[in-house]
A and B are shown apart, each in its own frame.
Chain A
Amino acid sequence: MITRHNYEELFLLYLDNELSPAERQSVEVFVKENPDLVEEMSALQQCRLTPDDEVSFGNLEPLLKDNRDRFIVPLRFNTMTRVAAAAILLLLTGLGVFIAMKKNTAAPFGKTINPAVAGTASPAVTNKNGHAIVTSATPGALYPATTDTQAVAVKADKQVPSEAGRKDHFPITQKDAAAPDDPIPDGQNPDDRAREQELTGTKLPIRQEVAIIDPIHTSLPERIFVEEGNIGGSTSYVTQAVQQDPVASSGDDFSEPAPAEKNKLRGIFRKVSRVFEKTANRDEDDRHAILVGNLQIALK
């Protein structure tokens, strides 16, 4: 409540707008009731300052921050774009390297080199009849330098020598392993036999001293004897096959053309074996005799 003892403070609060509406009204009523205090209220009101609008800072350009004609690229967006571009570039580079490597692994003339055959020392190849084939077409890396090799088709499942045979290097006959399915006549050339088997598709074991590569012990050549089979007739299938034009078996990826030197050697053997067939190993009359020239030696 305003009185003549506290009116000055309330007058100042009134001038500073720090009174509530009710308090302001009470001050106005007090002034009306006390006219001598009107002059004092007026003097206090004259002491209030009013802003001078003529006073100004002037040019505000030095204070402003110019953001016009500026396109701000968020750092995150810029970084993400860079990362995405780098990832795409790496992917394309890797893809190109992969394609180039794949082309380089292709063999000449469009053939694919069997990695199991090339550069390894194991005859891990079979023809369509299931026979393991060690042919003259096989790359020379398969054969040691001291081994005499011949083209031969061997039954892979019946001609694996036993461990004892391997160690002692004893010749192992086909009888030790298993009985042959189809006998062949004596004196048949193994090479002819190979072609004959490929042509007829029959399984014809032979008794021939051959050197094959042991898939396990690759340092020593293995020699086995393969049981001969009698197929009857005066003329062997092999001889007939040799006289015929060789027919390349289709679908055999491992029958590659043989080197020229081995062909010559094979030819010599062939001729020699023919001579023996004709003159020595025939047993047409079941006499079990050997004919050498015009001399026949009976065997008992």
Chain B
Amino acid sequence: MTEKDYNECVTNYADNVYRFILKNLRHEEDARDIVQTAFEKLWKCRHEVDAGKCRSYLFTIAYHQMIDHLRRTKKVQLRGEFREETRLADRPTPNLKKTLELALSRLNETQRSLVLLKDYEGYSYQEIGQITGLNESQVKVYLHRARIQLKNYLVSLENII
């Protein structure tokens, strides 16, 4: 991959990676740091990466960086999530989008990543498995469970409302 290819990768996929990380972490500065780290690693390994596979390579690096970050800050985020979740439970659901974001936050990091990779980036089960390190069957099962949970959460809220 040449320098020109790298710059094209930055232009085409920087927002996508940032969005993915931001939805998972729900913290802009942390998401920005992870995106910068991911692109730095891609630059260092540019001679080993084909230009056509830079997107999946980029998401793979970003995902693992995010998992490491989440494991380091899990305790703090967990408490934060409880508080945020409590505040949101008292408020009426403004729209479906925000409800889904709320439902998404209730998933674990693996399920959440799978849903985002599937819905945001349109990766196949096989590609998601390569990024996350899971096999295709695991991706299928985890993703189905995540969707069922999201559906049940929406239905229960609708029932409450």
Contact = CB atoms under 8 A, between A and B. Distances in A.
Interface of A: 9, 12, 15-18, 43-44, 46-52, 55-57, 60, 62-65, 67
Contacts of A15: 147
Main secondary structure of the interface of B (DSSP, over half): helix
28 contacts: A12-B147, A16-B118, A17-B122, A43-B154, A46-B96, A46-B151, A46-B154, A47-B100, A47-B150, A47-B151, A47-B154, A49-B100, A49-B115, A49-B116, A49-B119, A49-B120, A50-B97, A51-B119, A56-B15, A56-B19, A57-B15, A57-B17, A60-B14, A63-B10, A63-B39, A64-B10, A65-B6, A67-B3
Contacts of B4: 67
Given A55-B19, A57-B15, A60-B11, A50 B39 contact: no
Closest 9 CB pairs of A and B: A49-B119, A47-B150, A57-B18, A56-B15, A57-B14, A63-B10, A55-B19, A63-B39, A67-B3
B41 to A, nearest CB: 12
Nearest to A61: B10
Contacts of B118: 16
Contacts of A18: 124-125, 140
B146 to A, nearest CB: 9
Given A12-B144, A43-B154, A51 B120 contact: yes
Contacts of B45: none
Contacts of B150: 47
B123 to A, nearest CB: 10
